[in-house]
Chains A and B, each alone.
Chain A
C-alpha cells in the first residue's frame, strides 16, 4: 500500500475518530480495553480501506466496520489486568449542566445502556447517532420492521432497568 493511501486514510480516520471512540466507550469498561478495541477497529478499517470506493461517506462506512469489529471480531485481550471500571467522559454528567433529577436520570440511562447485550447496544448506538431505521437495518442485516420491533423491546427493557 502506498504512502498516499496511508496518508489519506489516517487523515480521514483522524477527522472521524469520534465514531470509533463512541463505539469503544459503549463496548468496553476500562481504558486499556478502549485502546485495544480502538486499535483493532483501526486495523480492520485499514484492511478494508482499499475496498472503500467512496460510494458512501467515509463515516457511514466506518459505522459498519467499527460495529462489526466490536460485535463480532473483537476478542478481549488477555494481557491486561482488569482495572477498575472507568467512567468514560461520555458517561460523566457535569453537575452544573443539568438539574439534579435530569442528571440522575441520564446517569441511570447510560448505566442501563451499558448493561444491554451487544446487538441491543448496536441498535441504541445507531439510534443515538441519529441513524434512521433503514440504515440501522442495513448495518445489522435485519429487516426494517424487525429493527423497529427490536428498538421498542429495548425501550421496554430500559424502562424496566430504570424503574425496577
Chain B
C-alpha cells in the first residue's frame, strides 16, 4: 500500500499543469460575491430568531392584548416579564456576538468546529428559553382567565353577537383554546428550529464527531 500511495502522490503532483487556470479578473470578480457559508446562515437565522418574536408586538392585535391582560389582572406580571425578557434577550445577543466574532478560518479544523458549535449553543439556549417563556406566558394567561370573574368584560367582542355565551362556557372554551394553542405553538417552533439546525449542521456534526473519535 505504501508504494501505491507513493505512486499516487507522484501522479498527483505531476498533474498541476493540467488544473484549471483562472485569470486575475476571474478571481477579482469572486471577491465581491456573497458567501453562503454555514456561519453566515447561522448569523441570519439567529438574527431572525432574536428579532421575530419582538416584531410580533408591532401587530395591532398583539398590542391590543395588553388591554386584555390589564382586564385579566395579569398586566403587572406580564409587563415585568417583558422587561426581564428584553434584558435576557440582550444578554444572549451580546454573548452570541462575542462568540460569533471568535469564529475564524485561521483556527485548526477542530477548533473552528468547536467555536461554531459554541456559537450555535448560545442560540439553542436562547430558543429553549424563548419557548419556555412563551409557554409560561400562556400559562399565566390561563391562570388569569381561570381566576377572572368578569371575563366577558375583558373580551368585549365575545358579547357582540346576537347569542350571549354563558360566562362559564366562555371560560372553558378560552382555557382549552389557550392550552392547545400554547402546546402547538411550542411544538411547532421547536420543530422548525431543530429541523433547521439539524440540516444545517449535519455535516459539521459528523466531521466533528470523527475528529473527536480520534482523541479517545
A102 to chain B, nearest CB (A): 7
Which single member of B19, B31, B210 contacts A6 (CB below 8 Å)?
A: B31
Q: Indicate if the CB atoms of A43 and B105 lie closer than 8 Å.
A: no
With known contacts A68-B112, A158-B1, A44–B207 Cβ distance under 8 A: no
1/0 per position for B1-17, CB-CB distance to A under 8 A?
11011011101110110
Q: Indicate if the CB atoms of A72 and B116 lie closer than 8 Å.
A: yes
Q: Whole-angstrom distance between the alpha carbons of A20 and B21 in the complex? A: 11
Main secondary structure of the interface of B (DSSP, over half): helix
The residues in B between 175 and 208 inclusive whose CB is less than 8 angstroms from any CB of A are 200, 203-204, 206-207
Q: Whole-angstrom distance between the alpha carbons of A72 and B35 in the complex? A: 13
With known contacts A65-B105, A72-B204, A73-B39, A90–B18 Cβ distance under 8 A: yes
Contacts A43-B31, A105-B7 known; 11 new A-B pairs at CB < 8 A: A69-B105, A72-B38, A72-B113, A102-B7, A109-B5, A110-B8, A118-B206, A127-B5, A129-B12, A138-B108, A141-B211
Q: Which residues of A contact B24 (CB under 8 A)?
A: 10-11, 14
Q: Indicate if the CB atoms of B215 and A146 lie closer than 8 Å.
A: yes
A132 within 8 A of B: no
Chain A's interface size range is: 35 or more
Task: Please give the residue numbers on chain B whose beta carbons come within 8 Å of chain A beta carbons, in ascending order.
Answer: 1-2, 4-5, 7-9, 11-13, 15-16, 18-24, 27-28, 30-31, 33-39, 41, 104-113, 116, 200, 203-204, 206-207, 210-211, 214-215
Q: Which residues of B contact A118 (CB under 8 A)?
A: 203, 206-207, 210
The residues in A between 122 and 156 inclusive whose CB is less than 8 angstroms from any CB of B are 122, 127-130, 138-143, 146, 149-150, 155-156
Task: Please give the residue numbers on chain A whose beta carbons come within 8 Å of chain B beta carbons, in ascending order.
Answer: 6, 9-11, 13-14, 17-18, 21-22, 25, 34, 38-40, 42-44, 46-48, 51-52, 61, 64-65, 67-69, 71-75, 77, 89-90, 92-93, 102, 105-106, 109-110, 113, 117-119, 122, 127-130, 138-143, 146, 149-150, 155-156, 158-159, 162
Q: Indicate if the CB atoms of B8 and A106 lie closer than 8 Å.
A: yes
Q: Whole-angstrom distance between the alpha carbons of A43 and B16 in the complex? A: 23
With known contacts A75-B37, A102-B7, A141-B111, A117–B105 Cβ distance under 8 A: no
B105 to chain A, nearest CB (A): 5
Q: Count A-B pairs with CB separation below 8 Å.
A: 165
Which single member of B1, B9, B214 contacts A159 (CB below 8 Å)?
A: B1
CB pairs A–B below 8 angstroms (15 shown): A10-B24, A18-B16, A18-B19, A39-B33, A47-B35, A68-B112, A72-B113, A72-B207, A73-B38, A75-B203, A90-B19, A118-B206, A138-B108, A139-B108, A162-B4
Q: Indicate if the CB atoms of B109 and A74 lie closer than 8 Å.
A: no
Q: Indicate if the CB atoms of B27 and A14 lie closer than 8 Å.
A: yes
With known contacts A89-B19, A117-B210, A130-B13, A140–B109 Cβ distance under 8 A: yes
Q: Whole-angstrom distance between the alpha carbons of A68 and B33 in the complex? A: 19
Q: Which residues of B contact A146 (CB under 8 A)?
A: 214-215
Question: Across the two chains, which residue of chain B brings its CB closest to A24?
Answer: B20
Q: Which residues of A contact B105 (CB under 8 A)?
A: 44, 47-48, 64-65, 68-69, 73
B26 to chain A, nearest CB (A): 9
Q: Indicate if the CB atoms of A13 and B27 lie closer than 8 Å.
A: yes
